[in-house]
Amino acid sequence: MTNDKTTSFDSADFLANAGLGRTIIELKAKQTIFCQGDPADAVYYLQKGSAKLTVISQNGKQATLTLLSSTDFIGEESLAAIVGLRLATATAVSACTTLKIDRSEMIRVMHDEPEFADRFLRFLLARSMRTQADLVDQLFNSSEKRLARILLIMAEFGKPGEQETYIPPITQDTLADMIGTTRSRVSFFMNRFRKLGFISYNGRIQVHRSLLNVVLLDQLPEHNAEKPAIQLIG
């Protein structure tokens, strides 16, 4: 006598379809997925499109934390032991399809399905490593190199078979927020990248593989070393 389940769990199918505790939501560009201060009652899975996370300080200053692309989870803070409030605002950058997974359903499937739990934990580890890399980038690299890295991340370089990739629509103000500089500096760097053949623009920004040399090899003519000063206290 066997104890095999009649049907095995399929993580891809779970994340692709609506069901008990799961709702598919279509969003247009600039529509809000959730707002800072909302109850953290669900996790979202980005099926298609791109989004961004932003925070607003008490005095009204806004900062962009990160950009999100398809296969990313959003709002994982809802799985905390005590239900709290959203720490950031998630907004669609392009037209998006998201799967809203209720907190209780997400906790259930994490507990009952090891395959899904492994997938989610791999995502959390990758997100943690990305956050650490962002911090190192902010502390030690010039703003020009930080911009190059953000463009490469948005273009999702590293995926097999992709040579020349377009990035989702994004404003220079948002890019400036993400790398900690001004819009005018971003405009200067973008024009410089275009003249050097690292990017092209014809309605949309296309990132070329040669931009990797800026990040990996510091190959920029007359490289602009704008590294922020590190102040030692003592």
155 and 129 inside one domain: no
- Residue 99 vs residues 24, 74, 89, 106, 230: alpha-carbon distances, Å: 4, 10, 17, 12, 42
Give residue 93's pLDDT: 86
Interval 69-92: pLDDT, tens: 889 999 999 998 788 899 999 999
114 and 185 inside one domain: no
- In the chain, DSSP assigns E strands to 22-27, 32-34, 42-48, 50-56, 62-69, 73-74, 89-92, 96-102, 165-166, 199-201, 205-207
Tell me which of 86, 104, 135 is where a domain ends: 135
Give residue 13's pLDDT: 95
Model confidence at 210: pLDDT above 60 = yes
What CATH number is given to the structural domain containing 207?
Answer: 1.10.10.10
Return the higher-pLDDT residue of 65 and 76.
76
In a domain? residue 207? yes
- 74 vs 192: CA distance, rounded Å: 34
Give residue 162's pLDDT: 52
In a domain? residue 208? yes
When the pLDDT of each residue in the chain is averaged and rounded to a whole number, the result is 84
Domain encompassing residue 186 = 142-217
Tell me which of 135, 166, 185 is where a domain ends: 135
- 174 vs 176: CA distance, rounded Å: 5
Model confidence at 12: pLDDT above 60 = yes
**Which residues, in sequence order, are CB contacts of 24 under 8 Å at separation 6+?**
17, 18, 47, 97, 98, 99, 100
127 and 30 inside one domain: yes
The backbone torsions φ and ψ at residue 37, rounded to the nearest 5 degrees and listed phi first, read 95, -10
Mean pLDDT along residues 48-70: 87
Interval 185-197: pLDDT, tens: 999 999 999 999 9
Give residue 131's pLDDT: 83
Model confidence at 17: pLDDT above 90 = yes
How far, in whole angstroms, is CA 103 from its chain's centroid? Answer: 21
What is the tally of structural domains in the chain? 2
Interval 108-131: pLDDT, tens: 999 999 999 999 999 999 888 888
3-class SS string, 208-220: CHHHHHHHHHCCC
Tell me which of 109, 135, 161 is where a domain ends: 135
210 and 161 inside one domain: yes
Element counts in the chain: helices (H) and strands (E): 7, 11
Using a pLDDT cut of 90, give the percent of the chain over it.
Answer: 46
Interval 137-183: pLDDT, tens: 777 778 898 898 888 888 876 555 555 588 888 888 888 888 888 99
